[in-house]
Structure 1
Amino acid sequence: MTTLRISALVLFLYAAQVLADPAPEIPPSNSAMDSDTAMNSHMMSGMYGNHPMSREASGTSWQPDSSVQEGIHNMDGDWMTMVHGFANAIYDNQGGPRGQAKSFSNSMLMVMAQRDVEGGTIGLRSMVSLDPLMGKSGYPELFQTGETADGKTYLIDRQHPHNLFMELAATYSTPISSSSSIFIYAGLPGEPALGPAAFMHRFSGQDNVEAPITHHWLDSTHVTNGVVTVGYVVKNWKLESSVFHGREPDQYRYQIEPGKLDSNSVRLSYNPTPNWSMQVSYGHITSPEALEPDVNVNRTTASVTSNIPGDDTNWQTTLAWGRNAPSAGLSSNAYLIESALSLGHTHTFFGRGELVDKDELFANTPTSPLAGENFRVGKVSAGYIYDFPSDFNYKIGVGGLLSRYSIPTELTPTYGANPSSMMLFVRVKIQ
């Protein structure tokens, strides 16, 4: 019902705008722009409206207009294309009694294309990852929870791999006036209108090779096996609603497994200036966890992102909150602040602070006296990466990060008094 109400509101706003402005001014065709402009994503119009392409992040989410948008941009006839991606080779060492060490690789390749057609803009989005090669159990990460590696037990203290196909989506938008538009987004898989931009797509978090332990409170729906979103954009505001398949991907990471569009969400986004982006969102997720098929989750999120560009520098910070309220069990909250500072295109410093309620840390040992209890876990990470200067369309960097945890005393016998972890990595990134 929430989705139907929001969709009706979007259509109402559309009708109201048409009546107010019966002769819309259609923005100039992207294909008419010269090649220099085509290479500048801050000047190109986006897929969803007459705003800078750099505003658009993962799925239909927004980021500050001034955000860095790396990748290879090109004009091919009437089509504007963009290719972006990275591959990391990582050595991971998680300390304490529950920690493990592993060498693995994670990666992502995104290809996007858009063109103007009579009456609007069509877009194509695809994103693939070779994460399944790391194995179904993913990589060690203390206090990370969510999903399963075998359909029988929970992944605990491990981050699951992403699917081979992370996004295969198509979009269509049409202008109502010079400052407003409506759009539709459909993906199998895709990302619904819920939460901030996914962590590997926002500048504040993309250089940190470790997934946030708040992931399943903020942006875990970014790979959804079936989603349709309808949205209305007016100036710096965006109202959108999605219907999507609520079940998270299973251990068969090479497959696309469509399901019923049984969940819904709504998100309001606002970019008050080129350097700021905000969103609030709410979603009802039906049966997200395969091991708890009768449990639904109501998720609420809010986030603010600041981006400060400069001469050969960029500094972005994201502050986010998420709350999961399951139909059975305890509600829980998660808080995140992360920041990244790039200097001279070679030095990048990044950090992340998190505070999250975890009730799955003993799910695989249901006889434990601590099973089912909520524990507030804090994590602070800091890292650095050096990118070697390059005249090519890719760059190679080396980096590392350290993490420390704050845990309640009840967890000390299991995790140790002062658990910590570290990662060392080599990265190849399209620029």
Structure 2
Amino acid sequence: MGHDMAGMAAGHAMTGTLSAYPMTRDASGTAWQPDSAPMQAIMGQVGDWSTMVHGFAALTYDNQGGPRGDDKIFVSSMLMGMAQHQAGAGTLTLKAMGSLDPLMGKRGYPLLLATGETADGRTELVDRQHPHDLFMELSATYSRPLADKLSGFVYVALPGEPALGPATFMHRFSGVANPEAPISHHWLDSTHVTFGVATAGLVYGGLKLEGSVFTGREPDQHRYDIERPRFDSWSARLTWNPTANLSMQVSHGFLHSPEQLHPEEDVRRTTASVTYNLPVGEKGAWQSTFAWGRNDPSGGHHAVPTDAFLLESALQLDRWTLFGRAERVDKDELFGDEHSGNPLAGRVFTVGKLSLGGYRSVPVGKVVLDLGGLVSTYDLPRAIQGEYGSSPTSFMLFTRLRVTG
């Protein structure tokens, strides 16, 4: 971590995907992060194409406490390749990203209070985090200068990420340090794997305005395929990077029928986030993200807007990295639908979670080996403590191989 890709990029003529800015600003999809954010990658050149590869694979022992907890050993992974080429007066960027997460099984891994998607097409995953699809992004972006400091761009992907929410947790330093997914994922950045996206936007200096049409339905239980694009939803996002250390965004979107198990239900999602990155020494960084998301459903049995708040931070000091995440989320899917017969079903409960952890990195050529762990505790309303326990505790131990270049 802390590898300055901007400096490496200059040697290979690789620039920002959407305009002439440092490529360290680019995060997932067309999302931005602070220019000073640490990144890790192997840079290269193939003919006239500038290339970049980065990724990780993590072996994790997961123990989720309490009556609804479980334990599992699993492997999570991500590999991304990017190639960039000058095309006429503009720049063409191709990206491909995949994951072997489907190998962990359709039910993913245990994660208390996590909700969203399905393992079998019939039952919602609750207290478990779903695996990512084999194909996470296959995209092409073309950007072109239009005037002084002004550029336009078009991004198309199958799959890809629309202009909605902050940079996804797997692509922001404050989030990727933590090997578990946020329980606020489906309020903030769950659209990062969407089968069918078309985005157009303008960049003026540190400002970016963009809009997307995309498929509202979340990925189904078949994790190895590419699903049919529908382009039945839309979103808009405004991002501002006023300094090299700061990135802020607000976004709003309409998601048509996002849930496979509730096809009659649409959702309006609104998000806002701030990410601050402070370089520390030659190879260190301290990055923090605060984000808020709201889901406002209509047309189904979920009729109450729900909110999620996230505050996370990661501090890298040479070979040591410490991280933490605090979340407060309104959950209405922990006990199924009202017709399930459970008296808690269909009710909204505000839950809290705090995770703290760290790891030590051992360099091995162009990769590093992380050895670390984390512990999580929860703040639960009294009404659900009979199901979860009054004070469950969870922990993870992990070893992770990361590309650094």
Q: TM-score with structure 2 length normalisation?
A: 0.95
* Aligned equivalent of 2:284: 313
User: Counterpart amino acid of 1:368?
Assistant: N
User: Counterpart amino acid of 2:130?
Assistant: H
CA separation in 1, counterparts of 2:321 and 2:49? 33
The 5 A counterparts of 1:245-324 are 245-311=215-281, 312-324=283-295
What is the Cα deviation at residue 326 of structure 1? Answer: 0.2
Equivalent pair of 1:47/1:53 in contact (CA under 8 Å) = yes
CA separation in 2, counterparts of 1:152 and 1:377? 25
What is the Cα deviation at residue 40 of structure 1? Answer: 5.2
1:377-423 deviations in Å (ceiling 9; x for gaps): 00000010111133x11111111000000000001100001011000
CA separation in 1, counterparts of 2:384 and 2:11? 48
What is the Cα deviation at residue 229 of structure 1? Answer: 0.2
SS of residue matched to 2:239: strand
CA separation in 1, counterparts of 2:35 and 2:383? 45
CA separation in 1, counterparts of 2:204 and 2:140? 21
User: Counterpart amino acid of 1:314?
Assistant: A
* Aligned equivalent of 1:18: none
User: Counterpart amino acid of 1:382?
Assistant: L
Deviates more, 1:111-120 or 1:211-220: 111-120
CA separation in 1, counterparts of 2:12 and 2:179? 26
CA separation in 2, counterparts of 1:36 and 1:166? 25
Instruction: Please point out which of 395, 400, 404 is paired with 2:373.
Output: 400
Q: Structure 1 residues 44, 259: closer, same or farther in 2, change over 3 A?
A: closer
Equivalent pair of 1:42/1:54 in contact (CA under 8 Å) = no
* Aligned equivalent of 2:317: 343
CA separation in 1, counterparts of 2:16 and 2:295? 32
CA separation in 1, counterparts of 2:21 and 2:185? 28
SS of residue matched to 1:389: strand
| Structure with the higher strand share, 1 or 2 | 2
1:281-324 deviations in Å (ceiling 9; x for gaps): 00000000000000000000000000000213100000000000
What is the Cα deviation at residue 37 of structure 1? Answer: 4.9
Instruction: Please point out which of 189, 192, 195 is paired with 1:225.
Output: 195
What is the Cα deviation at residue 349 of structure 1? Answer: 0.4
Q: Which runs of 5+ in 2 are unaligned?
A: none
* Aligned equivalent of 2:209: 239
What is the Cα deviation at residue 44 of structure 1? Answer: 4.6
Instruction: Please point out which of 419, 423, 431 is paired with 2:392.
Output: 419
What is the Cα deviation at residue 45 of structure 1? Answer: 2.1
User: Counterpart amino acid of 1:371?
Assistant: A
User: Counterpart amino acid of 1:331?
Assistant: P
* Aligned equivalent of 1:79: 49
Check if 1:64 corresponds to 2:34: yes
1:339-384 deviations in Å (ceiling 9; x for gaps): 000011x110000000000000001682011110000000000010
CA separation in 1, counterparts of 2:245 and 2:137? 27
SS of residue matched to 1:216: helix
Check if 1:330 corresponds to 2:304: yes
CA separation in 1, counterparts of 2:12 and 2:331? 40
CA separation in 2, counterparts of 1:45 and 1:158? 38
Instruction: Please point out which of 349, 369, 375 is paired with 1:375.
Output: 349
* Aligned equivalent of 1:27: none
Equivalent pair of 2:56/2:400 in contact (CA under 8 Å) = yes
What is the Cα deviation at residue 36 of structure 1? Answer: 9.8
Number of residue pairs matched by the alignment: 395
CA separation in 2, counterparts of 1:220 and 1:322? 11
1:139-189 deviations in Å (ceiling 9; x for gaps): 000000000000101100000000000000001011012411000000000
Check if 1:357 corresponds to 2:327: no
Q: Which runs of 5+ in 1 are unaligned?
A: 1-34
Equivalent pair of 1:38/1:75 in contact (CA under 8 Å) = no
CA separation in 1, counterparts of 2:69 and 2:354? 17
* Aligned equivalent of 1:9: none
Equivalent pair of 2:12/2:45 in contact (CA under 8 Å) = no
* Aligned equivalent of 1:135: 105
* Aligned equivalent of 2:131: 161
CA separation in 2, counterparts of 1:39 and 1:389? 22
The 5 A counterparts of 1:100-119 are 100-119=70-89
User: Counterpart amino acid of 2:388?
Assistant: Y
CA separation in 1, counterparts of 2:305 and 2:6? 51
Equivalent pair of 2:68/2:387 in contact (CA under 8 Å) = yes
Structure number with bigger Rg? 1
CA separation in 1, counterparts of 2:173 and 2:150? 27
Equivalent pair of 1:83/1:109 in contact (CA under 8 Å) = yes
Instruction: Please point out which of 130, 138, 146 is paired with 1:176.
Output: 146
Q: TM-score with structure 1 length normalisation?
A: 0.90
Q: Structure 1 residues 140, 185: closer, same or farther in 2, change over 3 A?
A: same
Equivalent pair of 1:43/1:52 in contact (CA under 8 Å) = no
Equivalent pair of 1:50/1:180 in contact (CA under 8 Å) = no
CA separation in 1, counterparts of 2:123 and 2:355? 28
